[in-house]
Amino acid sequence: MFSKAIGGLAAMLIFVLAVSALAQQSGADRKKAAEESFRKMIEFIGLDEQQATEAGKLFEARFHELSEITAKVQSGDLSQQEAGEQLAASFKTYREKFEKLLTGEQKTRLGQWENQTPARAGKKRSDLNDSERASQQESATGRT
């Protein structure tokens, strides 16, 4: 009986470590995807080198803040509602600082960028019709 308990604890420990490793990996994957999307956005809207550097600093600070909020939710230190409020405030601050870097034309291009995909316009993929899904897939793969 004692060996079964030890075996069960060992299996549980392995499971916890595996889940933890996957969570860290998915966090790294999320950051990589966010960085790639950010890079494409700054190219699309035409930031110069200085603007891109400043925007990169804002991106890193915001990503760090989002990670902290996520960790607080996962640890139970922050409710979903509180997290939502903090995320909204964080986005507003980030957006104001980011837009200060842009020219009028770049702000127009930013609006175009945000309207390119449903996620940027606040739509879920499941809310799209077949034509919109096909268009989104073509945009994502670079085919038009």
Q: Which of 53, 83, 79, 78 is nearest to 66 (CA)?
A: 83
Q: Which has more confidence, 82 or 3? A: 82
Own/partner pairs, 13-19, CB within 8 angstroms, 24+ separation: none
pLDDT, tens only, 96-129: 999 999 999 999 999 999 888 766 555 554 555 5
Q: How far apart are CA 88 and CA 62, in angstroms?
A: 12
- Predicted TM-score (pTM) of the model is 0.61
pLDDT for the residue 29: 81
Q: How much is the pLDDT for 32?
A: 86
Which amino acid would we find at residue 76? Answer: G
Write out pLDDT tens, residues 36-82.
988 999 999 999 999 999 999 999 999 899 889 999 999 999 898 99
Sign of CA dihedral 96, 100, 101, 105: positive
Q: How confident is the model at residue 33 (pLDDT cuts 50, 70, 90)?
A: confident
pLDDT at 20: 42
| Predicted local distance difference test score (pLDDT) of residue 30 | 78
